[in-house]
A and B are shown apart, each in its own frame.
Chain A
Amino acid sequence: MAKEFVARGADLELKQIRKEFPGFTAIENLDLHVPAGEFFALLGPSGCGKTTTLRLVAGLESPTKGKIFIGGKDVTSTKPHERPVNTVFQSYALFPHMTVLENVAFGLRQRKVADPLAKAKDALNLVQLSHLADRKPQQLSGGQQQRVALARALVNRPSLLLLDEPLGALDLKLRREMQTELKAIQMEVGLTFLHVTHDQEEAMDMADTVAVMNLGRIEQMGAPETLYDRPKTVFVSKFLGQSNLLVGDVTSTSANSISIDVAGNKISVPKNRAEKHKGKIAIGFRPEKATFSSKKPTTSSSKNVIGPGEIIDIRFTGVSNQYLIEVPQLGNITVFAQNMTHFAPIEVGAKVWISWDVENSFGLSDLPAQNEKA
């Protein structure tokens, strides 16, 4: 049944897009290529221009400059109803004067597709809501409305499906469920999905490729694993998960690594994991990649060690404990430790050394702002 909806997804290309609104520039200069059949996420904080990008692709806004191609065809000057694109809106925007079934059949009727009601029923089956076909949207729960909105868009087999934070209004549990479902549907139908979200977990969980957007620009783009393992800018390292950042001048360079000096500590990063090899740079590491011990670990060239520091806060989150460790002259360092075994209790105030593999460090292209805690 799902085969009914399989269509060739088209690729999307944005070239040199600029969008100005009276008083501000939402998108500065955006180049973006989304390959056909991919689940692509645009991730960024509110106001970063991600929703504007989506609206430009849908045709609900027109760019100040630049061109938009869908499946190789220039659609920049076409109207929304002429584009092979459907949107799942953040507010769902289900027509309140129509039944669920009529909502889903709307797009088919407009394009004069034969037998719209039967196809709409199939789409409702796909999202497991066929039993609610005769209800009005107002009578459904948020999660059900979201699925109707998805069916209403999918039923048209668009070359490109746009999702504008469609899970934003749902509670956490439902949200995780819908993520799984959405991903499964995308794999089943093979359409190109462009998903806009501010939830990094959601983006990493579902997307094949994530583009992190900030202030109208794309900061970094890549597979979720790559982005997380090897962020290139301070913004990405902080927006996608948490990071500890240490700033210092490069003091020594070996064949495959460079080292900086941070308040007397030598911190190294592999050369191929650093954006800059000279001058003042920021080196980061993920809280879960570090460990701490109450004795100073033996130094080796494959480990970075800082300390001693004092544990100033312990937060229990279930699967892990989050330790905040104050290291004199370095600031606060966060370390996550999995609660895998029952280990010796450690108290606030304990003195510890922090260590992590050089291999897990990453060097950034920019420096954290002065007022930002490193």
Chain B
Amino acid sequence: MAFAAFGSSNAPAAAKPTRSGKVVIALLAPGLAYLGAFFLTPLFALIMVSLEVPDPTGGYAEYVPAFEIGNYLYVIGEYLPHILRSFGYALAATVLALLISYPLAYFIGVKARPRPLLQKLMLTLVIAPFFISFLLRTLAWKQIFSNESWIVSSLHDIGLLAPTQYVVGTPFMVIFGLTYNFIPFMTLPLYTSLERLDLRYLEAGSDLYASPTKVFRKVTLPLSMPGIISGTLLTFIPIAGDYINASGDFLGSSSTSMIGNVIESNYLQINDYPSASALSVLLMGVILVLVTFYVKKSGTEDLL
């Protein structure tokens, strides 16, 4: 252990932990303990529950440990429409949020650069909705588009909606709510990457005969790809598991139920814990696969 006195630099790599090695472990320990207690343990428990079977001797909502892979097949068969709907809605809302956020982030991060005050003001406005509870804001939209609202009656009057059609409870309303609620999560990462965009690259592009549209496609867009990737991940993943917007109490109805709503009702109403757990694990797995594929495909691992 005499080596330890000289620091880790001349200690053999495979030797016993040096003093600085101990410090590293000591600093990592709380984080690792936290991850172990609050992530790995529940994850393990969730997987175990997802494989349980009803207790043959017990009553309602009592289950015993087993290894029933059939639970997964059951939930896929039973809830495939919900699974597909979840990812469909998540895709639509992510694309919409990207289309809305990109020009906004570009304006704040690039065009407003000479006016720092405007830049700060606009950033504050992007974050401002967070000061009001997400539930309240979602309920407010329900009010705005409620069946008695002037918006809906106007839509009836001008014939854009049939007299029997309403807005709340439709896929449109759910996707609208999801887009609205997740726009800041898209805008902020886009802003961070656009704010660092070196405008000299754009000048070089136009100097090399690229029209403004071409400069955007060939230079601006690829250079802001890290922001696009993190923005889409930060919106797509939570949206796929969201259960507020699509819930019948908020903007949705039974015909817009997403996987999150199904998990919620299985846990809290039907008390079918194995099915709810299997759906949760499934959701996590599908997202993991999709995200890995997406990041690989976009070829931006080194830019992230």
Residues of A bordering B, CB below 8 Å: 58-60, 79-81, 85-87, 89, 91, 93-97, 106-107, 110-111, 152, 156
Contacts and interface: CB of A to CB of B under 8 A. Distances in A.
- Determine the main DSSP class of B at the interface with A: helix
Interface stretch (B19-27, B77-85, B146-154, B196-204): B196-204
27 contacts: A60-B203, A60-B206, A79-B206, A79-B211, A80-B203, A81-B207, A81-B210, A81-B211, A81-B214, A85-B207, A87-B207, A89-B207, A93-B200, A93-B201, A93-B204, A95-B219, A97-B223, A97-B225, A106-B205, A106-B210, A106-B218, A107-B208, A110-B208, A110-B209, A111-B209, A152-B208, A156-B209
Nearest to B210: A110
Interface in B204-257: 204-211, 214, 218-219, 222-223, 225
Nearest to B114: A22
Contact of A89 (B203, B209, B303): B203
Contacts of B222: 97
- Determine the main DSSP class of A at the interface with B: loop
Contacts of B200: 89, 91, 93
B207 A86 contact: yes
Interface of B: 198, 200-201, 203-211, 214, 218-219, 222-223, 225, 303
A96 B218 CA distance: 12
Contacts of A93: 198, 200-201, 203-204
A96 B214 CA distance: 17
A341 to B, nearest CB: 52
A107 B210 CA distance: 7
A148 B303 CA distance: 22
Given A95-B219, A97-B222, A81 B203 contact: no
Q: A81, A85, A86, A89 — which one has the most chain B CB atoms within 10 A of its CB?
A: A81
A59 B211 CA distance: 13
Contacts of A60: 203, 206-207
Given A96-B223, A97-B223, A110-B209, A89 B204 contact: yes
A89 B205 CA distance: 12
9 shortest interchain CB distances as A-B pairs? A93-B204, A107-B208, A110-B209, A80-B206, A93-B200, A97-B222, A110-B210, A81-B206, A81-B209
Contacts of A87: 204, 207
A89 to B, nearest CB: 6
Contacts of B219: 95
B300 to A, nearest CB: 9
Contacts of A86: 207-208
A174 B303 CA distance: 31
Contacts of A58: 207
Contacts of A81: 206-211, 214
B212 to A, nearest CB: 8
A309 B204 CA distance: 56
Given A89-B203, A96-B223, A106-B210, 12 more contacts: A59-B207, A81-B210, A85-B207, A86-B207, A87-B204, A89-B207, A95-B204, A96-B201, A97-B303, A107-B208, A110-B214, A152-B208
